[in-house]
Structure 1
Amino acid sequence: MDINQEITQIKHITTQKLSEKRKFANSDDDSEVDVKRTKLQPAEDTLPKTATKVATESNTTFTNVNAGTKNTSIKINAHQSPKKRIQLTSPLNTEQNQVKEKFIYGNYNKYYGYRNKESKYQDIRLEVFATQSEMFKNKQMLDIGCNSGLVTMEVAKLFAVKSIVGLDIDRSLINQANKMLLRQKKILPMENEARRLHKFPYNVSFVHGNYVLRDDVLLEIEHEQFDIILCLSITKWIHLNFGDAGLKQAFRRMYLQLRNGGKLILEAQPYDNYGRRKKMTETINTNFKAMKFFPKDFNDYLLSADVGFESFELMGIPENCIKGFKRPIQIFHKK
């Protein structure tokens, strides 16, 4: 082989290797583009299960189907940073919305701590009850909307009631109340006078449920079973969630569940307290707009033939209570 042929062959091999390198380099570039594209445009199989993808050329829209009956669309620019897109599509946003709606029944899990900031160990309303402590003695009671049961248990402990049932629509709060009740029982010996005489804490029980019935027809099977019913700062939440009809039904049910001579102890929220909660849910907003039965009408309705209470009196107004909680506590008497 002469020198010219050898040089030609070397050039051919070199050219071939350079060609392969370019091809490999181009392949890498394509892969890099693919990686970048993947970061900017999430793959369809990585989309949140709670969203429906509607693709356009440069944008992606997620329709959130966890936002209740009303779907909400979130537009995502394909050129936004991954962090921004994650914030827009993350389930945490849905969870935040759920947190806002968590307490739609007034079922705040730190309600007593918020209400009683100036009285760390005791609900101030108990001081009002103490002015007529004899009224509670040896009576069977119902506490509607008992929350975590603090007032329910204190009434049972301080005023020697025969029995008291705490009812709340929030199962988690009832679970908290039952745990607190169990702790009270555990600190006592197995054989003790309180158990034998059915005194505190054995005169307390907690039940999960909604006081508003599915149909007014069910009122026909109600029977007298309580001497005193507590309805403390719960009227607003019944009213907003179940409307005028729901609250009126609840008032009639209270009357029917009381024995002759029974008493309804009512602490109603004023109407100016409603507005701040009117947009919590669509149902609440609808009920708020349709409202024709206002707190100023409650007394007349409770004393009317539709319900039947004979008379009412002011029991008292809690002193040293933070602003917004100084609400009159009234007693309605059943003949």
Structure 2
Amino acid sequence: MDINQEISHVKHGATIKLAGKRKSENSNNGSESGVKKTKLLIPEDTPAIEGPTESGNTFTNVNTGARAKNAAIKVNAHQSPKKRIQLLSPINTEQKQLKEKFIYGNYNKYYGYRNKESKYYDIRLEVFATRSEMFQSKQVLDIGCNSGLITVEVAKLFAVRSIVGLDIDRSLINQANKMLLRQKKMLPFENEARRLHKYPYNVSFVHGNYVLRDDILLEIEHEQFDIILCLSITKWIQLNFGDAGLKQAFRRMYLQLRSGGKLILEAQPYDNYGRRKNMTETINANFKAMQFFPNHFNDYLLSSDVGFESFELMGIPENCIKGFKRPIQIFHKT
């Protein structure tokens, strides 16, 4: 066989092999028996899927809850199972993450949507200003301080001796500390604010959960603050830690206040609770088990279980977005 015949023989063999491969593929496409089946594993939290098939694409209606709207997802039927899982799963996962992200009321844009005109100024400060002398030279604790706007402004405006901002969200505390560090770097190392312990040197931020693991830890509490701010966090404490958790927090506030100390309380009304009741299973269970309602708070704080002597209305913020005009009260410790 000469070289030309050999080349012709090789080409002919390759053509037969290619034709056989195409025939096999066409046969598999037309019969289930020739397809290697791969089981599509859907995570348990992925919603039920159903829908018509059109031109090789599945248009899937994903049910994300009784009140949620159906979302159409375009999935190519010929994509790999892994790719289809990636397309289907994030819908539920992202919503779950968003739902659980702010379960403590730790919204990262809280001041932006609470305040009508500026995310850098909180109307509640105007209520505090009516009693500005109450803050002078005092040691203050701000529970649930978020990113620290109120904490910082109290330190700036009311000549407090010191103020500690506490929040359960570490990222918000990190944000507040970075802001504080920038303020300090803008000043020379030796400066009047540092020498007189004024802002930004009278502020600190701490990450932590104010609700203790066990009531027995209340026995080691001691008086260390003149004023405690508890602003719009009662709902979040109660939804996450139940009636017992909020009652413990109230008792801890009393124990941490010095004689003559004051608790400044802004409690959310009960009708605010229901909108958040389905955020987590724990929240839902605590909501259903509630027996301690906001209209009981005053009596409990004045009872022998806690010990405050009296309370008064400090004021009600004006020019707030609807839903945030809540009474701010002062509870007095003898």
TM-score category of the 2 structures, normalised to the smaller one? 0.7 to 0.9
CA RMSD of aligned residues (A): 3.0
Q: Deviations over 1:200-242 (max 9, x none)?
A: 1100000000000000000000000000000000000001000
Equivalence for 2:125: 126
Q: Which has the larger radius of gyration?
A: 1
The 1:257–1:25 alpha-carbon spacing in structure 2 relative to 1, beyond 3 Å, is same
**1:36 Cα shift?**
11
After the TM superposition, which residues 31-70 of structure 1 pair with which residues of structure 2 at under 5 Å, given as runs? 31=25, 55=39, 60-64=40-44
The 1:35–1:131 alpha-carbon spacing in structure 2 relative to 1, beyond 3 Å, is farther
Q: Deviations over 1:24-74 (max 9, x none)?
A: 31313435777999xxx9996xxxxxxxxxx3xxxx34124xxxxxx5565
Equivalence for 1:103: 102
- Structure 2 segments unaligned to the other structure (5+ residues): 1-7, 59-74
**CA distance in structure 2 between the partners assigned to 1:303 and 1:36 by the alignment:** 79
The 1:294–1:61 alpha-carbon spacing in structure 2 relative to 1, beyond 3 Å, is same
Equivalence for 1:205: 204
SS of residue matched to 2:21:
helix
SS of residue matched to 2:43:
strand
SS of residue matched to 2:133:
helix
**1:159 Cα shift?**
0.1
The 1:301–1:88 alpha-carbon spacing in structure 2 relative to 1, beyond 3 Å, is same
Indicate if the aligned counterparts of 2:143 and 2:167 stay in contact, CA closer than 8 A.
yes
Q: Deviations over 1:122-164 (max 9, x none)?
A: 1000000000000000000100000000000000000000000
**CA distance in structure 2 between the partners assigned to 1:105 and 1:33 by the alignment:** 58
Equivalence for 1:26: 20
Could you tell me the TM-score, scaled by structure 1's length? 0.82
- Structure 1 segments unaligned to the other structure (5+ residues): 1-13, 45-54, 65-70
Q: Which letter maps to 1:104?
A: I
**CA distance in structure 2 between the partners assigned to 1:325 and 1:36 by the alignment:** 64
Equivalence for 2:248: 249
SS of residue matched to 1:62:
coil
**CA distance in structure 2 between the partners assigned to 1:118 and 1:329 by the alignment:** 21
**1:100 Cα shift?**
1.9
Equivalence for 2:300: 301
Equivalence for 1:51: none
The 1:86–1:245 alpha-carbon spacing in structure 2 relative to 1, beyond 3 Å, is same
**CA distance in structure 2 between the partners assigned to 1:185 and 1:234 by the alignment:** 29
The answer on 1:315 being equivalent to 2:314 is yes
**1:246 Cα shift?**
0.3
The 1:93–1:198 alpha-carbon spacing in structure 2 relative to 1, beyond 3 Å, is same
The 1:26–1:163 alpha-carbon spacing in structure 2 relative to 1, beyond 3 Å, is same
**CA distance in structure 2 between the partners assigned to 1:284 and 1:196 by the alignment:** 47
**CA distance in structure 1 between the partners assigned to 2:140 and 2:300 by the alignment:** 23
**CA distance in structure 1 between the partners assigned to 2:87 and 2:27 by the alignment:** 24
The 1:22–1:274 alpha-carbon spacing in structure 2 relative to 1, beyond 3 Å, is same
After the TM superposition, which residues 205-244 of structure 1 pair with which residues of structure 2 at under 5 Å, given as runs? 205-244=204-243
Indicate if the aligned counterparts of 2:225 and 2:261 stay in contact, CA closer than 8 A.
yes
**1:99 Cα shift?**
1.5
**CA distance in structure 2 between the partners assigned to 1:285 and 1:230 by the alignment:** 27
Q: Which letter maps to 2:42?
A: F
Q: Deviations over 1:243-263 (max 9, x none)?
A: 000000000000000000000
Could you tell me the TM-score, scaled by structure 2's length? 0.82
**CA distance in structure 1 between the partners assigned to 2:213 and 2:279 by the alignment:** 22
Equivalence for 2:67: none
SS of residue matched to 1:240:
helix
The 1:20–1:157 alpha-carbon spacing in structure 2 relative to 1, beyond 3 Å, is closer
**CA distance in structure 1 between the partners assigned to 2:27 and 2:135 by the alignment:** 78
Q: Which letter maps to 2:107?
A: Y
Indicate if the aligned counterparts of 2:148 and 2:176 stay in contact, CA closer than 8 A.
yes
Equivalence for 1:5: none
SS of residue matched to 2:292:
coil
